[in-house]
Amino acid sequence: MRAKSLEIIKLADNPSIGKGLYSILYNLAFSPKIKYIDCSNCIVDSAETGEALYKLISISGAIETLNLSKTNVFAYLTEQFWKAVGESKTLQYLNLDSNSRPTAQTAFLGKAIAMNAYKNGSL
């Protein structure tokens, strides 16, 4: 939480990070300049990580790029997360590329994109 000038963090290809990812993402929410986060190919195995992502997007006023490709985080994202994505003014790139089957989350994704465009977001 003391790294106030941190702008880029890459945690990609780190399968051993496990539940530690929740703590990292939650604490990055309070970093005022964080713009780029790459967590691709990390194993996400808890709903806490989905909640941390929701808090990250809703609290952070600078996040532009969030790469979550090849993680199974899609299953842990809540409706609150999608609302935060829709209301975000700074988020420009969100990568949720996954092999998982489409669920009800797909409808939330569409609504978040539409709400972001309606509110003049950058997504």
Percentages helix, strand, coil for the chain (3-state, rounded to 5) are 40, 10, 50
Please state whether the predicted TM-score (pTM) of the whole model is above 0.95.
no
Architecture of the domain defined by 8-118:
Alpha-Beta Horseshoe (3.80)
pLDDT for 97: 85
pLDDT for 100: 67
Contact 108, 82 (CB under 8 A): yes
Question: pLDDT tens digits for the chain (123 residues)?
Answer: 566 788 999 999 987 887 789 999 999 988 889 999 999 998 887 889 999 999 999 998 899 999 999 888 888 888 999 999 999 999 999 998 876 666 667 788 889 989 999 998 888
**Could you state, in order of their start, the residue ranges of all structural domains in the chain?**
8-118
